[in-house]
Amino acid sequence: MMTAQSFSTEIEVIDSHTEGEPTRIVVAGGPNLGSGDMLQRREIFRTQFDEFRSAVITEPRGSDVLVGGLLCEPPDSSYAAAIVFFNNTGYLGMCGHGTIGLMVTLHYLGRIGLGRYRVATPVGVVTATLHDPARVTVENVPAYRFRKQIIVEVDHYGTVVGDVAWGGNWFFLVKETPERISLDNVECLTRVTKMIEVALAKSGITGASAERIDHVELYGSGAAANADSQNFVLCPGGEYDRSPCGTGTSAKLACLADDGLLQPGQTWRQAGILGSCFEAHYERRADGAIIPFITGRAFISAHSRLLLQADDPFRFGIRG
């Protein structure tokens, strides 16, 4: 367990949103996770400093919708940054919208200019190109479809069919849904996707190494948003992604590529539940893996300090 000296009681953070989805980057006052690889650092974060996570991201200083990112010392000078993303319930492998927010944050701080940069994450190296102060393209880790057209029986709902795919996190992507993909239908969409998530676990449907599938994605027509499709994404912790979801769009590209419905370099416009869009395409490597490219915008919304007062009963957040 951590000690009182493990991290500062004054934490500097920068908030942004990427196409509507908020990100909070810890730029000072966080714990030192050492110099190991990023998976090791994430494990140190999880096992030794989880109270820091909840202090930053949960109420009363945060909210369930926030995704946090802890800036770490880069592995070497070839990296612009190293980061571990986290949310209201735990830790993420990668976060597409968060990486876009990270690059805009680093530019706001004056740490980077326009250009192409390497970022170390727990699931591998991603490359991000800052085109202007708000617009970023993320070259993600390789994405792939693990299982196709999996039938899942959902209690009190019925049968759904979807794909299990990796885009930096594990997703179950439901191709056809009777549910209306619209912001005014969020309550229903949240309920249905939570039921699907429970059914996946109950049925023993997992990722390639028995990982929990913690993102469920429904798709519909994107006509209303002038896009190729519009999605609703349930994130770990029970909140929905306000953006089109970078790792989810990466998983979607892998499925489209596997079905021969999208060619390398062809643009796919993915709308989220708010109608905001990511532009995406992929390249295919010599070994057959696809590399997703996700382009979106982020905007700085706050630069602040979080205070952890010793007599505050909720200084480490409201923990369920």
- What are the residues facing 26 on neighbouring strands? 13, 70
Q: Backbone phi, then psi, for 187, in 5-degree steps?
A: -60, -45
Question: What are the structure tokens assigned to 109, written together?
Answer: 């701080």
Of the candidates 235, 245, 255, 277, the residue annotated as catalytic is 245
Mark whether 95 is an active-site residue: yes
**Catalytic residue from among 95, 235, 255, 277:** 95
Measured CA to CA, the distance from residue 291 to residue 283 in angstroms comes to 5
Active site residue 245: yes
What token pair was written down for 179? 């549910």
- Positions annotated as catalytic residues are 95, 245
